[in-house]
Chains A and B, each alone.
Chain A
Amino acid sequence: AQKITQTQPGMFVQEKEAVTLDCTYDTSDPSYGLFWYKQPSSGEMIFLIYQGSYDQQNATEGRYSLNFQKARKSANLVISASQLGDSAMYFCAMSVVRNTGFQKLVFGTGTRLLVSP
């Protein structure tokens, strides 16, 4: 069964420093997609970044980059130059293809990031 594992319940980082949030995944499908979402205290889910399993290069979006290591089945999120507004819950997710051919998104349990001044 497909699964996403986020082993860090909470992370602390000082403002302006970089932080890496870990994500490992398990799937036997050769094709899959990996996502990161941010959930601030207000509750909404905000899409950050996407990486396809066939993408040759690591995805980047502004201060966010995805460190994709396919052989290790890891898709860590790197946030550079942390800001106070980065304090939030972060979810890693994977799109998988069901037997019916339809896709779904499987989420990890999340990592709460706290950025201190």
Chain B
Amino acid sequence: EAQVTQNPRYLITVTGKKLTVTCSQNMNHEYMSWYRQDPGLGLRQIYYSMNVEVTDKGDVPEGYKVSRKEKRNFPLILESPSPNQTSLYFCASSFHLPTPWQGVESSYNSPLHFGNGTRLTVT
């Protein structure tokens, strides 16, 4: 089954204790991204990766690290978590984002596939 797998689903930790949220996709997707979801703010992009060894900051990268050593994996690392990083985190992947000029009939139309989310609480 084609899917994006995040682990763990729930995590409670304390301030300053390093943690890693894993993300793996089995669809051979080039593009992967991490988002955090907070009430009233929608989803905000943390980091993204266009391919192996190619990563870049999103809108809210502070306090996070990522790596893309293999195409299928894109872990999110919190070196020193703080309470303001308490959130619902989503990993997502796609072949690549659809280019608007190619339209819905294009073979490049590839919506983001999301993992089931990781609910992180930092106390």
Which residues of A come within 8 Å of B, CB atoms? Answer: 4, 31-33, 35, 37, 43-47, 50-55, 59, 91, 93, 95, 100, 102-110
Given contacts A33-B98, A52-B100, whether A47 and B42 have CB atoms under 8 Å apart is no
Interface residues of B (CB under 8 A from A): 33, 35, 40-45, 48, 50, 56, 58, 88, 90, 92, 96-104, 109, 111-114, 116-117, 119
B45 and A104 contact, CB distance less than 8 A:
yes
Q: A108-B42, A109-B41 are in contact. Are A102 and B104 (CB under 8 A)?
A: no
Closest to A110 in B: B42
Which of B40, B44, B88, B113 is close to A107, meaning CB atoms less than 8 Å apart? Answer: B44
Across the A-B interface, how many residue pairs have beta carbons closer than 8 Å? 79
* Contact (Cβ within 8 A) A95 B116: no
Residues of A near B114 (CB, < 8 A) are 37, 44-46
For the residues of A in contact with B, the DSSP-based class is strand
**A35-B111, A50-B109 in contact; A103/B103 too (CB < 8 A)?**
no
Residues in A whose Cβ lies below 8 Å from that of B42: 4, 91, 107-110
Please tell me if the beta carbons of A32 and B100 are within 8 angstroms of each other in the complex: yes
Complex contact A103–B97 (CB within 8 A): yes
Residue of A nearest to B111 (CB): A47
Q: Is the CB of B111 within 8 A of A55?
A: no
**CB closest chain-A residue, reference B97:** A103
Cα A53 to Cα B102 in complex, Å, equals 10
Residues of A with C-beta under 8 A to B58 = 104
A52 and B43 contact, CB distance less than 8 A: no
Provide the residues of chain B in CB contact with A107, threshold 8 Å: 35, 42-44
